[in-house]
Chains A and B, each alone.
Chain A
C-alpha cells in the first residue's frame, strides 16, 4: 500500500539555525499537505502543494513538491522557539485517503 516516509524523526537546533524535514512517497501523489502539531495540541494545516516542482513560501517556511510528485520538503529559515512542534507531511493518491508520515519533531533551544 501507499507509504509516506518522513525524515528525520527528531531534530534539535539552536535558535537561529535552519531546519529541513523531508517526505518521500512510494507512489506518485495527487497533492501533499503539511501540518504542524504543537506539544499537547492537534495537527494544524499549514499548506497544500499540487503542482509538480511547486514551491511555496510562508514567511520563514519554504515548501517544495518534487518534479516527480513523490517527494516534498519543508525548510524553516532561522528557527525560533515558536517553531517547536511536530511537522507532518500527508500525501494524497487519487482515489485513496490522505496518508500521513510519522512526523519530524523539532526542538529549539535559545
Chain B
C-alpha cells in the first residue's frame, strides 16, 4: 500500500498570503488529521476529518481551515499568513472501525509540508 502523501513538500510564502496544503491518505483510511509541528510546541492538533465531516478541532484561530473530499483526500488552508505560522504541517490518516466515535487507531503520518513565512 502506498503511504500518506502530502503536497507540496516545501513552500515559501510572505505574510498576508494564503496557502493550501494537500494530503492523500492511505487507501481505505477514512480519518485524516492535521498537526502543526514547531520546535517549541511539538505536535499540535489542528483538526480531524472523517467522511467529509470535521469531527474534532484544536485550539487554532479561524484562519486555519480544512476540508475532506469524498475520496478521503484532505486539504487545509491558512489565510492571512503570519510569521508564526512557519512550521512543518503533518497529515496523518487512520482506519476507523466504526462509523462514529473517535479514531483510536494507529496514525500513519505523511512526510509533511515545510511552510516558511517571510
Give residues in A with beta carbon < 8 Å to B: 1, 30-31, 33, 35, 41-45, 48, 88, 90, 92, 94-103
Assembly CA distance A88 to B106 (angstroms): 13
CB-based contact A45/B42 at 8 Å? no
Question: In chain B between 87 and 116, which residues have their CB closer than 8 angstroms to a CB of chain A?
Answer: 90, 92, 101-104, 106-112
Query: Is B59 among interface residues, defined by CB-CB distance under 8 A?
Result: yes
For A94, list chain B residues within 8 Å (CB).
Answer: 102
For A101, list chain B residues within 8 Å (CB).
Answer: 42
CB-based contact A98/B109 at 8 Å? no
CB-based contact B42/A97 at 8 Å? no
For B35, list chain A residues within 8 Å (CB).
Answer: 100
For B109, list chain A residues within 8 Å (CB).
Answer: 42-44
User: How many residues of B sit at the interface, in one of the four size bands?
Assistant: 20 to 34
CB-based contact B110/A42 at 8 Å? yes
CB-based contact A1/B56 at 8 Å? no
CB-based contact A92/B102 at 8 Å? yes
Q: Tell me the number of A-to-B contacts counted with CB atoms below 8 Å.
A: 59
Besides the known contacts A43-B109, A90-B107, A98-B33, 5 further A-B residue pairs in the complex with CB atoms under 8 A apart? A35-B107, A41-B111, A42-B110, A48-B106, A101-B42
CB-based contact A43/B107 at 8 Å? yes
Residue among B33, B45, B102 with max Cβ neighbours from chain A (10 Å): B102
One of B41, B44, B107, B110 near A33 (C-beta < 8 A): B107
Assembly CA distance A61 to B90 (angstroms): 26
For A96, list chain B residues within 8 Å (CB).
Answer: 56, 102
Assembly CA distance A31 to B94 (angstroms): 15
For B104, list chain A residues within 8 Å (CB).
Answer: 30-31, 48, 92
One of A30, A31, A92, A97 near B58 (C-beta < 8 A): A97
